[in-house]
């Protein structure tokens, strides 16, 4: 029954997305991922007959700590600039709640995918040679992790991929030194390779789901990865999918580290919670999360959902006339023709044409209305004019009009490529 209900919920999310029923297009990731977690848990329970994992008390800690775990990588991205977010809600409280709810699915997805694969018997007999881990090996692993992190943050254009793996080498060796039973390196020392294989395979699978759900959503992230922008599978360059199995190892080890510190409960085994430490860690986690969200507002959240009332060159009276004619959002407006707007909403020909062109800019690859206004200020009023722009010249002109970190050159390139594709297909 649970499998049927969760599958139906996922299907309903897709239908509401295709019908553009708000708020599903903006928060499709949330609407799709939570029933997916329920489905993964139900599949695992059906296959091995063990009690549900999702509804056990330790999973509450997993959900609560998951945003904090991912925010570590968001902070790294302030320097890496490998992805940014578009078309999020206009109200800050709604953005923040949605972001936290989205990131709360990350670590549960890693754990539940591994459990489902285990229940299916994948790599259950994954025995291999035992790896002798000496104290010197632990030191070298941490040194290498520090080096990888330093290179990725110090020279992100060349070494950005090293962030995926650096955290694992920093965290898991320290866990192994304190409690090998919680460590993935400890698995290797015992000659048990199965769990690592399942985590990595599960990471690849949920990575594909992450990118599938993200690609079709309105509110989404867009990658700007050096050298790898020309070919993409969904929003991700194909080479980037290699990072998902490694990230899954990192997420697993980071949560295990929290369990070792006594501030989170392991999903298997006896919890060794220290309440004062839990309270102190919770305060630190909340503070870190809020600070990261403020940073995202400045550095990685590029645009919010456009509104007709903010459409450049559109008076309140014209916006009201459009709504009465059934044109409720700039997304509707971008699909309309000027002649339809003249006939149905009574707009003048010049206002109708300018409104459609502005809406097409605002909805192209999440440019949004704030950037559309800036583009207008520098002389770019249509998608095809944007397609002919030189990225460096355009960015210089934008910087003269408005200070800030957004857009950066990589983002302007995303706009121009999308405009070129749009004009070719048009």
Peptide bond into 150 cis (omega under 30): no
Cα dihedral 241, 169, 297, 289 sign: positive
Q: What is the pLDDT of residue 228?
A: 63
Residue 180 domain boundaries? 55-299
- Return the closest-CA partner of residue 146 out of 117, 166, 127: 166
229 part of a folded domain: yes
Cα separation of 17 and 30, whole Å?
12
Q: What is the pLDDT of residue 406?
A: 82
Token couple for 219: 């509110």
Cα dihedral 72, 75, 76, 81 sign: positive
- β-bridge mates for residue 220, sequence order: 86
Tell me how crowded residue 127 is: count the other CB atoms within 10 A of its CB.
12
| pLDDT beneath 70, residues of the chain | 228-230, 271, 425-426
21 part of a folded domain: no
Q: Which of 254, 280, 299 is the last residue of a domain?
A: 299
Q: What is the pLDDT of residue 205?
A: 96
Cα separation of 87 and 306, whole Å?
7
- Residue written as token pair 């390196």: 185
Which residues, 6+ apart, have CB-to-CB distance to 2 below 8 Å?
Answer: 38, 42, 45
Tell me how crowded residue 331 is: count the other CB atoms within 10 A of its CB.
17
Give the helix ranges, DSSP H, for 300-405: 316-324, 330-335, 338-345, 349-362, 368-377, 383-387, 391-401
Q: Which of 299, 326, 356 is the last residue of a domain?
A: 299
Q: What is the pLDDT of residue 372?
A: 94
251 part of a folded domain: yes
What string of DSSP letters covers 364-377?
GGG-HHHHHHHHHH
Contact present, 214 and 29 (Cβ < 8 Å): yes
Cα separation of 207 and 120, whole Å?
19
Question: How many domains would you assign to the chain?
Answer: 2
Cα separation of 36 and 23, whole Å?
19
Check whether residue 139 and residue 260 sit in a common domain. yes
105 part of a folded domain: yes
Coil, strand or helix: which one is 88?
strand
226 part of a folded domain: yes
Check whether residue 294 and residue 359 sit in a common domain. no
Cα separation of 365 and 372, whole Å?
12
Q: What is the pLDDT of residue 272?
A: 79
CB-count exposure of residue 238 (10 Å: 0-12, 13-18, 19+): exposed
Which residues, 6+ apart, have CB-to-CB distance to 396 below 8 Å?
Answer: none
The backbone torsions φ and ψ at residue 86, rounded to the nearest 5 degrees and listed phi first, read: -130, 155
Check whether residue 213 and residue 258 sit in a common domain. yes
123 part of a folded domain: yes
CB-based contacts of 150-153 (< 8 A; 24+ apart in sequence): 152/76, 152/80, 153/76, 153/79, 153/80
Strand (E) positions, 92-247?
220-223
94 part of a folded domain: yes
User: What's the pLDDT tens digit per position in 162-209?
Assistant: 999 999 999 999 999 999 989 999 999 999 999 999 999 999 999 999
Q: Which of 244, 264, 299 is the last residue of a domain?
A: 299
Check whether residue 93 and residue 123 sit in a common domain. yes
Per the rule left: phi > 0, alpha: psi between -120 and 50, beta: everything else, 78 is alpha
- Return the closest-CA partner of residue 249 out of 146, 153, 113, 352: 113
Peptide bond into 215 cis (omega under 30): no
Q: What is the pLDDT of residue 278?
A: 93
Check whether residue 276 and residue 348 sit in a common domain. no
31 part of a folded domain: no
Check whether residue 265 and residue 313 sit in a common domain. no
Per the rule left: phi > 0, alpha: psi between -120 and 50, beta: everything else, 191 is left
Coil, strand or helix: which one is 236?
strand
- Chain-centroid distance of CA 205 in Å reads 15
Q: What is the pLDDT of residue 296?
A: 97
Check whether residue 147 and residue 285 sit in a common domain. yes
């Amino acid at each position: 029954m649970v499998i049927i209900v969760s599958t139906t919920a996922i299907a309903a999310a897709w239908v509401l997305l295709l019908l553009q029923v708000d708020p599903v297009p903006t928060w499709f990731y949330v609407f799709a991922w939570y029933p997916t977690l329920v489905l993964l848990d139900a599949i695992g329970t059906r296959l091995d007959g063990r009690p549900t994992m999702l509804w056990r008390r330790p999973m509450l800690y997993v959900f609560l700590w998951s945003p904090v775990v991912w925010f570590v990588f968001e902070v790294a991205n302030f320097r890496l600039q490998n992805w940014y977010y578009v078309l999020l809600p206009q109200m800050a409280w709604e953005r923040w709640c949605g972001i936290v709810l989205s990131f709360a699915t990350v670590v549960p997805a890693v754990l539940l995918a591994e459990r489902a694969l285990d229940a299916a018997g994948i790599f259950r007999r994954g025995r291999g040679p035992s790896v002798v881990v000496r104290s010197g090996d632990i030191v070298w692993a941490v040194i290498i992790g520090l080096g990888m992190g330093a290179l990725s943050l110090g020279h992100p254009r060349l070494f950005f991929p090293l962030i995926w793996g650096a955290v694992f080498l920093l965290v898991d060796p320290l866990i192994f030194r304190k409690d090998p039973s919680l460590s993935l390196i400890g698995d290797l020392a015992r000659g048990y390779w199965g769990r690592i294989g399942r985590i990595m395979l599960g990471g690849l699978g949920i990575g594909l789901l992450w990118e599938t759900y993200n690609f079709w959503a309105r509110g989404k992230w867009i990658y700007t990865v050096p050298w790898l922008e020309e070919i993409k599978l969904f929003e991700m360059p194909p080479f980037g999918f290699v990072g998902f199995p490694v990230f899954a190892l990192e997420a697993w080890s980071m949560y295990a580290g929290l369990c070792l510190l006594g501030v989170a409960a392991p999903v298997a085994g006896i919890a060794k919670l220290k309440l004062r430490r839990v309270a102190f860690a919770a305060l630190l986690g909340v503070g870190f999360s809020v600070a990261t969200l403020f940073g995202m507002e400045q550095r990685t959240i590029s645009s919010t959902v456009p509104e007709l009332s903010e459409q450049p060159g559109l008076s309140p009276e014209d916006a009201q006339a459009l709504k009465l004619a059934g044109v409720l959002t700039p997304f509707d407006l971008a699909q309309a023709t000027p002649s339809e707007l003249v006939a149905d909403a009574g707009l003048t020909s010049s206002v109708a044409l300018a409104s459609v062109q502005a809406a097409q800019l605002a909805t192209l690859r999440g440019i949004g209305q704030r950037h559309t206004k800036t583009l207008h200020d520098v002389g770019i009023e249509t998608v095809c004019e944007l397609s002919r722009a030189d990225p460096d010249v355009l960015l210089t002109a934008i910087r003269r009009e408005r200070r800030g970190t957004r857009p950066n050159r990589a983002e302007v390139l995303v706009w121009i490529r999308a405009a070129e594709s749009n004009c070719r297909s048009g």
